[in-house]
């Protein structure tokens, strides 16, 4: 058992993938000499060389497109996009090509591509570097969308993503990179098909993912002091959604609160709530509720940024209302 950070777990996952399969290579802005914008690839250039660790020009459209082509050609590329906001420049190769090629070719071709990107706010980087757009990708058939929120998932999801014959988009919340935790040796094999219960409870289910997980855990501890035991369910796979696990939890607690750093309108939270209404309506003892980011571009000022995000006090207040307290 070793204490490692989220970024160190990611780095070890890359090292294992690169050492184990000569088809795997990493490409993106500053992934080589600089060691990665978030230091997640530090040292890999020296270990594996410039053919395997490739710094790219500042052109998401260009290097993501190159990753699609490399995957079609038999390689197993890992493409790092610095932040989800910049990934919008590469929507065409991701949505119109990578996600659609298996369908359009009648199953003759697949795109075994992994695209990693940072997401989320909380670092005073303002609107062009702070949004949570995971739901944009979770909307698209043909890709798998992952959101590792723990050390174990950061260490284990990459290998499974590389085994997938279709494109996988992996979102890493930027505030998680410095988080530390215990990692078993050897690391556990994780699951990229099912949600995970991170805290058991009987009074309320709180559904969340990614960077909101630590805030929800903090809120659940506060609720416990108020006599409310909240079950915390980490979706961790945003497409395909494991709604069955959400329904199972709600059948035990009979209340559900969804916490999502995305905006409320057309959010992932809305999809979870709609699915619960369809599949577990008569299990509910209270209306469904959600806590999302405010409907504004993420502000720069610290106090305004925090006011715009689903922070623990907002989560606690919503849970207390849901439980009639």
Catalytic site residue from 60, 231, 261, 305: 60
Residue whose C-alpha is closest to residue 248's, from 320, 297, 197, 305: 197
Residue whose C-alpha is closest to residue 143's, from 120, 114, 109, 107: 114
Q: How far apart are CA 31 and CA 9, in angstroms?
A: 16
Q: Please give the DSSP secondary-structure letter assigned to residue 1.
A: -
CB neighbours of 318 closer than 8 A, spacing ≥ 6?
257, 289, 290, 291
Our answer to whether residue 129 is catalytic in this structure is yes
CB neighbours of 55 closer than 8 A, spacing ≥ 6?
27, 28, 29, 30, 31, 32, 33, 34
Question: In degrees rounded to 5, what are phi and psi of residue 158?
Answer: -60, -45
Length in residues, the chain: 325
Catalytic site residue from 14, 80, 129, 271: 129
Our answer to whether residue 60 is catalytic in this structure is yes
Q: Catalytic positions, please?
A: 60, 129
């Amino acid at each position: 058992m070793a204490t490692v950070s989220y970024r160190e777990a990611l780095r070890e996952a890359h090292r294992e993938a690169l050492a184990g399969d000569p088809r795997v290579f990493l490409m993106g802005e500053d992934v080589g000499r600089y060691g990665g914008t978030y230091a997640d690839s530090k040292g890999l250039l020296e270990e594996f060389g410039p053919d395997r660790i490739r710094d790219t020009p500042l052109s998401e459209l260009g290097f993501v497109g190159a990753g699609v082509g490399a995957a079609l050609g038999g390689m197993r590329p890992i493409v790092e996009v610095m932040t989800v906001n910049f990934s919008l420049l590469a929507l065409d190769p991701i949505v119109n090509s990578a996600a659609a090629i298996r369908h359009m070719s009648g199953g003759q071709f697949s795109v075994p591509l992994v695209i990693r990107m940072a997401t989320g706010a909380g670092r005073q980087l303002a609107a062009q570097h702070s949004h949570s757009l995971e739901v944009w990708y979770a909307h698209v058939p043909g890709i798998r969308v992952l959101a590792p929120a723990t050390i174990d998932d950061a260490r284990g999801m990459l290998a499974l993503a590389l085994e997938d014959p279709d494109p996988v988009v992996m979102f890493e919340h930027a505030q998680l990179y410095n988080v530390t935790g215990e990692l078993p040796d050897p690391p556990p094999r994780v699951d990229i098909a099912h949600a995970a219960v991170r805290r058991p409870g009987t009074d309320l289910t709180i559904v969340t993912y990614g960077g909101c997980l630590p805030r929800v855990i903090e809120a659940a501890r506060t609720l416990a002091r108020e006599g409310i035991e909240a079950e915390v369910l980490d979706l961790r796979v945003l497409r395909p959604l494991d709604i069955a696990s959400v329904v199972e939890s709600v059948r035990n607690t009979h209340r559900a609160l969804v916490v999502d750093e995305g905006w409320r309108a057309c959010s992932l939270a809305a999809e979870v709530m709609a699915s619960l209404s369809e599949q577990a309506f008569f299990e509910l003892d209270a209306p469904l509720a959600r806590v999302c980011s405010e409907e504004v571009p993420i502000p720069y000022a610290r106090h305004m940024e925090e006011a715009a995000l689903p922070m623990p006090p907002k989560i606690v207040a919503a849970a207390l209302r849901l439980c009639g307290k």
